[in-house]
Amino acid sequence: MHAEDFFGRRLLTREVYGNEHSYKKLNYEVVDAVTVKKKQLYCNRCSQTTPLKSARLNASTYYCPHCLFLGRCDTQQQLYLFEQPNGKKRHVNDCWEGQLTTLQQQISDDLCDRSGEHLVWAVTGSGKTEMLYASIRKTLAKGGRVAIASPRIDVCQELYLRLRKVFPEETIRLLHGKSEGPDRYGSLVICTTHQLYRFYRAFALLVVDEVDAFPFVGDQGLAYAVATALQRNGQLIYLSATPDDQLLKKSRTAMSVHQLALRFHQRLLPEPKLLFWDQWANRCLHPKKNQRLCRLIQELVKENHVLLFCPSISLMEQLEKQLKKQLPCRMTSASSKDEARSSKVQNMREQHYDVFLTTMILERGVTFERISVIVLGADHPVFSKSSLVQIAGRADRKGGFTNSQVYFFYEEKTRAIVKACKEIKQMNKKGKEQRDEMRIL
């Protein structure tokens, strides 16, 4: 490892062993990896506390079970906290050729001009990432380091592909649990939120995308990772289309809020059509009972490709087998257990499939062109209000108008369904107001 690979890092003894020649001239602090406090074990990497009886490794060693996936943090290890040196001012090549709308430009300018914490509350497909480009460029030009973190690997991979084209001369690193190869220095880091545990006061600009998504939402350890990965005077930006009540409460006093209810192409969110289907879980798998679903798919693929969301992997796999027997469509499926998921998603971007069955793994952060959406079993407990809003937002995100449709099949009209439809209507109402404002301007 080179000296710069240690900049702004939080590493265990075993991770720095044998590299003394690279980091011995750097400024760093060494602390215990974990600390025993009475009957509790406190982890200095993830800030989580564990009862000693649940943290015992052997007679003399204790470990933190909360961040074990990053490598065991125990009483035999120390934690090395490396300082992030100040970078030099430089030119940053920005190759984005798009143009922001008036409302997008206002938010982009505010983010550039004002430090501190920000919440960008913007509907799906509004161009949240594009509004960040100016702030990223400004921070990098000042010699600062930038990170964009998301709870989902799929979102990180899509961001990596987009930002690599926008900033082609930057050293961009993609970090997640399935990353291969050594962890090298990058001026721009795109990572899952768990990977922030590996950084310490590293980033002058830290963006947390999909801040309302599992597993980030409500996780105190990940909130600590964000707070300590950010430089003390750094800028923190949260992005969300569906912020939770806790974040909205915080936003009233502790951060600047920028709301955008209008998509970049000026079209409103497609509002879901609710279709009652008694015993949908059984009927969808029988060729004589699922004609309603098949007819809808056949109608939608005349204009668009179809994303069909299922509440479980097992149902998705069974339904795919059945639909392939009944429909003359190019069809595939993908879930969190699918090792070929990334290549399938890319093939969907290239429009190789007519119908793509999936689970909640693609509920957010992924953009396809010419898409209509079906949610099978929208009343299933796995679908929250936020997830339904996000799923509906997969439709009509990109390209010209294609009459994209959103359908929710349900047996019981749950609170999640009602609240999701209400929120989409409210955002569209505000979106109309903002569109009118733009016309006046």
Q: What are the residues facing 82 on neighbouring strands? A: 28
Residue at 91 is within a domain = no
Query: Are 141 and 23 in the same domain?
Result: no
Same domain membership, residue 420 and residue 293? yes
Domain-located, residue 157:
yes
221 and 284 in one domain?
no
Statement to judge: residues 227 and 361 lie in one domain:
no
Residue 64 scores a pLDDT above 80? yes
Q: Flag the least confident range among 249-263, 284-298, 342-356.
A: 249-263
Residue 64 in domain: yes
- Model confidence at 344, pLDDT cuts 50, 70, 90, reads very high
In a domain, 95, yes or no: no
- On whether residue 265 sits in a domain, the answer given is no
Q: What pLDDT sits at residue 168?
A: 95
- Residue environment code for 345-373, b if the CB has 16+ CB neighbours within 10 A, otherwise e: bebbeeeebbbbbbbbbbbbbbbbbbbbb
The span from the CA of 150 to the CA of 155, in Å, is 7
- Cα–Cα distances in angstroms (integers) from residue 73 to residues 65, 76, 89, in the given order: 8, 8, 37
Distance CA 93, CA 379 (A): 48
For residues 313-337, average pLDDT = 96
Predicted confidence (pLDDT) per residue in 150-193, tens digit:
988 888 988 999 999 999 999 999 999 877 766 899 999 999 99
Sign of CA dihedral 379, 385, 386, 391: positive
Residue where one domain finishes, among candidates 209, 229, 260: 260
Higher pLDDT, 181 or 278: 278
Distance (Å) of CA 419 to CA 308, 374, 383, 394, 429: 21, 18, 12, 18, 15
- Please report which confidence band the pLDDT of residue 217 belongs to, taking 50, 70 and 90 as the band edges: confident
CA of residue 101 relative to chain centroid, distance: 24
pLDDT of residue 90: 95
Q: Are 233 and 291 members of one domain? A: no
CB burial class (10 A; 0-12, 13-18, 19+) of residue 230?
Answer: buried
Beta-ladder partners of 81 = 10, 29
Q: C-alpha angle with apex 167: 165 to 168, nearest 5 degrees?
A: 65
Calpha distance 317→314 (Å, rounded): 5
Is residue 288 domain-shared with residue 426, that is, in the same domain? yes
Q: Given this model, what pLDDT does residue 182 score?
A: 65
Lowest mean pLDDT segment, chosen from 33-42, 206-215, 422-431: 206-215
Phi, psi (5° rounding) for residue 24? -65, -25
Any domain includes 228 = yes
Q: Are 189 and 175 in contact (CB under 8 A)?
A: yes
Whether residue 357 sits in one domain with residue 281:
yes
pLDDT of residue 73: 96
To the nearest whole number, what is the mean pLDDT of the chain? 93
Within 209-325, strands assigned E span 230-240, 256-260, 273-276, 305-309
Characterize the bridge pairing of strands 230-240 and 172-175: unpaired
Tell me how many domains the chain contains: 3
Q: Which of 82, 112, 143 is the last residue of a domain?
A: 82
The helix or strand, by DSSP H or E, that contains position 408, with its residue range, turns out to be: strand 406-410
Which residue, 18, 25, 10, 27, is CA-closest to 79?
Answer: 10
- Cβ neighbours of 320 (radius 10 Å): 17
What is the pLDDT averaged over residues 256-266?
A: 89
Q: What is the DSSP letter of 68?
A: G
Cα–Cα distance measured from residue 398 to residue 280, given in angstroms and rounded to the nearest whole number: 31
Task: Give the whole-angstrom CA distance, residue 432 versus residue 321.
Answer: 42
d(CA 411, CA 339): 33
User: Rg (Cα) of the chain, in Å, rounded?
Assistant: 23
Domain boundary among 17, 51, 82: 82
Provide the percentage of residues in the chain whose pLDDT is more than 70: 99
Helix (H, G, I), strand (E, B) or coil at 120: strand
Alpha helical stretches, state H, 79-197: 102-113, 133-141, 153-166
Residues 117 and 246 in one domain: yes
Q: Which residue has the tokens 């050594």?
A: 182
- 97 domain-assigned: no
Of residues 50 and 217, more confidence is placed in: 50
Distance of CA 269 to the CA centre of its chain: 20
Nearest alpha carbon to residue 335 among 352, 310, 300, 301: 310
233, 117: one domain: yes
pLDDT of 356 higher than 90: yes
pLDDT digits (tens, 9 = 90+) for 102-152: 999 999 999 999 889 999 999 988 889 999 999 999 999 999 999 999 988
The predicted model gives 241-270 an average pLDDT of 86
Name the β-bridge partners of 146.
188, 205
Q: When comparing pLDDT for 214 and 335, which is higher?
A: 335
Percent of the chain with pLDDT over 90: 78
Question: For residue 14, is pLDDT > 80?
Answer: yes
Instruction: State the pLDDT confidence band at 264, using cuts at 50, 70 and 90.
Output: confident
Q: Which residue's entry shows tokens 């979102």?
A: 155
Q: What is the CATH number of the domain that holds 237?
A: 3.40.50.300
Q: Which two tokens stand for residue 397?
A: 């995100």
pTM of the model: 0.86
Strands in 202-243 per DSSP E: 203-208, 230-240
Does the structure show a pLDDT above 90 at 441? no
**Does the structure show a pLDDT above 70 at 308?**
yes
DSSP state of 253: H
Containing H/E element for 149?
strand 146-150
Same domain, 413 and 325: yes
Q: Residue 363: name the closest of 385, 332, 331, 344 by CA.
A: 385
User: Looking at the structure, do residues 48 and 186 belong to the same domain, yes or no?
Assistant: no
Range of the domain at 8: 3-82
Judge whether 266 lies within some domain: no
Whether the Cβ atoms of residue 317 and residue 352 lie closer than 8 Å to each other: no
Examine the domain organization and report whether 137 and 178 are in the same domain: yes
